[in-house]
């Protein structure tokens, strides 16, 4: 991170309101299995899976799903002092996906000098950058559906083949209380 970015992040920490989405009376879905249960509940009852799966999720106020989400949506947001971000980034996203034979992204990452041996390094870099960006609101809202809200976060990697950096978009699913989980390691810019 350069000085300009550091100043921008510091400003955001003080100037940005953070909120938590509330769907009253239901338990937040903390795992992917619990999200799937909510999707099932959504198909079997009048409960809305999208709202159930947004319950407890944290956003900066200006990048929060719109309220109401639909007619008769009773969800609301409460202010929270900060987003204590936790990012989960399964190493298999690199070892078994990006660097899988036949994946076009393998050539791309290798052209930057990164190989499957760097999977742990990449995992740590993704986690570090995602935690910082999400907690200060440096993300874009991505797909919102019955499983919940995804956010897109820019990842900048130092090239190993030569001097310089590459920046691309990664996709994360939002879970309650500051947790995000990597879904798409490399998306289009």
Q: Interface residues with Zn ion (CB under 5 A)?
A: 48, 50-51, 69, 73, 75
Q: Which is nearer to Zn ion, 75 or 182 (CB)?
A: 75
Question: Residue 104: left (phi > 0), alpha (psi -120 to 50), or beta?
Answer: alpha
What is the closest distance, in whole angstroms, from the C-beta atom of residue 108 to Zn ion in the complex? Answer: 38
Residue nearest to Zn ion (CB): 48
Residue with Cβ nearer Zn ion (69 or 127): 69
* Token output for 17: 């309101």
Between 68 and 113, name the residue whose CB sits nearer to Zn ion: 68
- Cα(96)–Cα(119) distance, integer angstroms: 10
Radius of gyration of the chain (CA): 18
Question: Toward Zn ion, which CB reaches closer, 74 or 158?
Answer: 74
Please state the closest distance from residue 150 (CB atom) to Zn ion, in A: 17
Q: Provide the 10 A C-beta neighbour count for residue 42.
A: 17
CA distance 183 to 102: 19
Question: What is the closest distance, in whole angstroms, from the C-beta atom of residue 68 to Zn ion in the complex?
Answer: 6
DSSP code, position 176:
B
Cβ atoms 55, 20 nearer than 8 A: no
Query: What is the smallest separation between the CB atom of 129 and Zn ion, expressed in angstroms?
Result: 31
């Amino acid at each position: 991170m350069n000085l300009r970015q550091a100043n921008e992040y510091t400003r955001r920490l003080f100037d940005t309101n953070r909120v938590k989405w509330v769907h009253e009376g239901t338990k937040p879905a903390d795992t992917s299995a619990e999200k799937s249960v909510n999707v099932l509940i959504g198909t079997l009852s009048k409960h809305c899976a999208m709202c159930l799966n947004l319950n407890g999720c944290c956003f900066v106020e200006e990048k929060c799903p719109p309220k109401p989400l639909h007619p008769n949506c009773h969800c609301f947001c409460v202010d929270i002092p900060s987003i204590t971000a936790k990012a989960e980034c399964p190493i298999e996203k690199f070892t078994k996906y990006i660097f899988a034979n036949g994946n076009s992204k393998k050539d791309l990452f290798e052209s930057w000098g990164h190989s499957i041996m760097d999977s742990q390094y990449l995992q740590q870099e993704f986690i570090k950058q995602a935690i910082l960006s999400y907690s200060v609101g440096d993300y874009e809202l991505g797909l919102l559906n019955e499983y919940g809200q995804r956010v897109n976060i820019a990842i900048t990697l130092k090239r190993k083949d030569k001097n310089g950096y590459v920046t691309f978009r990664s996709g994360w699913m939002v879970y309650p209380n500051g947790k995000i989980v990597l879904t798409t390691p490399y998306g289009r810019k």
